[in-house]
Every structure is written in structure tokens, then in C-alpha cells.
């Protein structure tokens, strides 16, 4: 069976994801869609120039919404880098632009007859994921935001660096909005076989500082190079492959939680059918309060996006 991915939005993030997919032979067919036709035609040609030196072949299809009908996974990487580089460090600055674009794209995805899994990177990701689900009419568990899969990686990087370890030796989650109301749920974080809370006391780690480092990590990258790309593209492709391979991996992604009435990041088991099981964490009272604050914030912003 042929494996088919699509990327909508071929800026820095979409292009990075596309290269990761092509260079690793993750798909047989890759549909690239962008409003800048000459740019995406050039990307396709550039990929064809890479093909003779790669051990895999990928068919590249350009700007054809009708070919989404049998795609396994679409990755939405639409964004506006001019809006990202703001001193106010707020992903919601992108909402007026991205919500308008996404409503149009979502209607085209629906018209294509697509019935696979939609992975959303586009910011502000929790609200945009809701908009995609509402406009496409896809089942809620088939529309997934990359959410705090990226922030959890940034938390792992910050904790690992403080302990002089590989970041893959750190387990645990950032929860809530992929934005300023997110937080590290320290009760979920374990390193060296121990809860981080115990290790932090033993080794004098400042958890509040590490929490801020993971939350603000994206802005450090934004201000250095005017966009982020590798971290988020890697998270999105990991999520797409988890779906394609029916891997049933527990990931902190933006998924619709009935008890909060919004898309927000909370670990879920991901497989071929999208979100196949929602995890129930034993959070502390303080963490539960923070999650409620984050959910309320996303809900308010989603409601605002519907009146614009
Ligand atoms: C980030 O890198 O944090 C994004 O939101 C893309």
C-alpha cells in the first residue's frame, strides 16, 4: 500500500518537514501545496535533483488539492514569519492571518474528500486545530495539533542540560496551550529512575527556571533566526509517522478533551485512527489549576476567533 503525505504551507517549517520526509523515504507520495506556485514548483524540482543521490524514491505532486483524497496524513504548516518575530512573544499575533488562510484551506481539504489524519502545526495551534476540525468536519480524533510535543522536547533539553545528560534520558510533559499559559507538569517528569522533584531537591535544580526555559524556548529561536523550523518540523513528522505506522505511542499533543471542551495538549495514544486513547494523568492540585487556566484561555481565544 502506498504511503502518502501532504504538506500545506511550504515556508521554512513545511520545507524542513518535506526534506525530512524525502531524505528518509518516509512516504511514497508527497503532495506539496503553497499559494506561491513558482516557489513550490521550484521545491519539487529541487527535490527531484536530490533523488538520484538518495536511496529512496518519492513522487512529488504539486498544488493539487484533488490528490488529497487518498492521503494518509496532511501536515498544515501555514504561517506568517513576519508576525512571529514580535517582541511581545505571543503566537496569537498570527491568528488573524492564519485563521483566514486556514478556513479557506480547510474547505478545500473537505472538498477533496480527504479522510485521513490532519496534523496541525499552524499557530496558535490549539485554536487553529479547532478551526480545522470545525470546517473540515473530520472526526475530532482525526485532527491533532503538534502542541506541547515540541515544548516537552524543550523541557527535556533544559532538564538534560542542567543535569549533563542526553535529553532522551528525560521523560515527562508540558501541558495545556502551546503558548504562554502552558506549564511543565513536574509530577510527570522522571530522570535517572527518579521523580524530578526528588532529584531537584538533591541537586539544587531550579524547576521554575527550567519551566520558563521550556515555555520561552521557541522565542529564543525566533529572535535568533526569525523563525523556528527544525524542532517543530521534527515533532510533526514524528507525529505523522506515528499515525502511518500505527505505532500506538503516548504523545503530548493537542487533542480534544471533553472535560475541558477544547483542544489542548495532554498525552494521548496515537495510531492509525489518530487519537486512539486519552491518557488520564495523576496531576497535583496546582497542576490541575494551571491546566484549567490554560484551557479557559484557549476557549476564550477560540470564541474570539469565531466573532472576527
Ligand atoms: C515553535 O517553534 O514554538 C512554534 O510555535 C513553531
Answer whether residue 184 shows pLDDT above 70.
yes
Answer whether residue 100 shows pLDDT above 70.
yes
Q: Check if the beta carbon of residue 177 is closer than 8 Å to that of residue 297.
A: yes
Distance of CA 162 to the CA centre of its chain: 25
Q: What percent of the chain has pLDDT over 70?
A: 98
Is the beta carbon of 228 within 6 A of some atom in ligand 1?
A: yes
Answer whether residue 88 shows pLDDT above 90.
no
pLDDT in tens, 262-292: 999 999 999 999 999 999 999 999 999 999 9
- Grid cell locating 9: 504551507
pLDDT at 308: 61
Closest ligand 1 atom to Cα of 125? 5
CA angle 56, 61, 67 (to 5 degrees): 120
Q: What percent of the chain has pLDDT over 90?
A: 91
Closest ligand 1 atom to Cα of 217? 3
CB atoms within 10 A of CB 174: 27
Q: Check if the beta carbon of residue 269 is closer than 8 Å to that of residue 263.
A: no
The arithmetic mean of pLDDT across residues 32-42, rounded, is 98
Dist. CA 172 → ligand 1 center (Å): 19
Mean pLDDT of the chain: 96
94 vs 33: which has the higher pLDDT: 33
Model confidence band, residue 297 (pLDDT cutoffs 50, 70, 90): very high
Dist. CA 200 → ligand 1 center (Å): 27
Q: Which of 91, 220, 236 to mutate to test the pocket of ligand 1 (most atoms within 8 A of CB)?
A: 91
Using alpha carbons, select from 211, 138, 129, 225 the residue that is nearest to residue 175. 211
The arithmetic mean of pLDDT across residues 206-210, rounded, is 97
Closest ligand 1 atom to Cα of 91? 5
Closest ligand 1 atom to Cα of 154? 3
Report which protein residue has its CA nearest ligand 1's atom 1. 218
The H-assigned helical ranges of 113-206 are 125-136, 149-163, 196-203
pLDDT in tens, 132-182: 999 999 999 999 999 999 999 999 999 999 999 999 999 999 999 999 999
pTM of the model: 0.97
Dist. CA 31 → ligand 1 center (Å): 23
What DSSP element (H or E) covers 277? strand 274-278
Dist. CA 61 → ligand 1 center (Å): 27
pLDDT at 62: 98
pLDDT at 189: 98
The H-assigned helical ranges of the chain are 12-24, 37-50, 81-84, 95-112, 125-136, 149-163, 196-203, 207-225, 230-244, 285-307
Cis before 34 (ω within 30) = no
DSSP three-state, residue 283: coil
Is the beta carbon of 77 within 6 A of some atom in ligand 1?
A: no
CA angle 31, 270, 191 (to 5 degrees): 120
Active site residue 178: yes
Report which protein residue has its CA nearest ligand 1's atom 3. 218
pLDDT at 1: 78
DSSP 8-state assignment for residue 122: P
The arithmetic mean of pLDDT across residues 201-218, rounded, is 94
Dist. CA 13 → ligand 1 center (Å): 9
DSSP 8-state assignment for residue 141: G
Q: Which of 12, 19, 142, 178 is catalytic?
A: 178
pLDDT in tens, 43-58: 999 999 999 999 999 9
pLDDT in tens, 219-261: 899 889 989 999 999 999 999 999 999 999 999 999 999 999 9
The arithmetic mean of pLDDT across residues 63-76, rounded, is 98
Is the beta carbon of 231 within 6 A of some atom in ligand 1?
A: yes
Given the DSSP bridges, would you call strands 59-62 and 183-191 parallel, antiparallel or unpaired? unpaired
pLDDT at 255: 98
ipTM tops 0.95? yes
Is the beta carbon of 218 within 6 A of some atom in ligand 1?
A: yes
Amino acid at each position: 500500500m502506498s504511503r502518502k503525505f501532504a504538506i500545506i504551507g511550504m515556508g521554512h517549517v513545511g520545507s524542513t518537514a518535506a526534506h525530512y520526509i524525502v531524505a528518509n523515504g518516509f512516504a511514497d507520495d508527497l503532495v506539496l501545496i503553497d499559494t506561491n506556485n513558482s516557489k513550490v514548483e521550484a521545491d519539487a524540482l529541487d527535490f527531484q535533483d536530490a533523488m538520484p543521490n538518495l536511496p529512496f524514491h518519492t513522487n512529488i505532486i504539486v498544488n493539487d488539492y484533488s490528490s488529497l483524497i487518498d492521503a494518509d496524513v496532511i501536515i498544515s504548516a501555514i504561517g506568517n514569519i513576519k508576525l512571529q518575530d514580535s517582541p511581545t512573544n505571543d503566537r496569537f499575533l498570527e491568528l488573524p492571518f492564519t485563521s483566514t488562510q486556514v478556513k479557506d484551506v480547510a474547505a478545500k481539504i473537505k472538498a477533496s474528500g480527504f479522510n485521513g489524519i490532519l496534523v496541525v502545526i499552524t499557530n496558535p495551534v490549539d485554536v487553529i486545530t479547532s478551526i480545522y476540525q470545525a470546517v473540515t468536519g473530520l472526526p475530532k480524533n482525526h485532527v491533532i495539533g503538534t502542541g506541547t510535543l515540541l515544548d516537552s522536547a524543550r523541557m527535556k533539553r533544559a532538564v538534560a542540560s542542567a543535569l549533563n545528560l542526553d535529553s532522551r534520558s528525560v521523560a515527562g510533559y508540558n501541558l495545556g496551550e502551546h503558548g504562554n499559559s502552558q506549564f511543565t507538569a513536574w509530577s510527570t517528569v522522571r530522570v535517572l529512575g527518579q521523580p524530578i522533584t526528588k532529584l531537584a531537591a538533591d541537586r539544587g535544580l531550579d524547576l521554575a527556571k527550567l519551566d520558563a526555559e521550556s515555555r520561552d524556548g521557541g522565542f529564543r529561536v525566533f529572535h535568533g533566526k526569525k523563525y523556528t523550523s527544525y524542532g517543530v518540523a521534527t515533532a510533526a513528522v514524528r507525529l505523522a509517522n506515528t499515525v502511518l505506522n500505527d505505532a500506538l505511542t503516548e504523545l503530548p499533543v493537542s487533542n480534544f478533551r471533553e472535560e475541558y471542551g477544547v483542544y489542548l495538549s495532554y498525552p494521548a495514544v496515537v495510531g492509525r485512527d489518530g487519537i486512539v486513547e486519552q491518557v488520564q494523568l495523576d496531576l497535583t492540585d496546582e497542576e490541575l489549576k494551571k491546566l484549567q487556566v490554560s484551557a479557559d484561555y484557549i476557549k476564550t481565544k477560540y470564541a474570539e476567533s469565531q466573532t472576527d
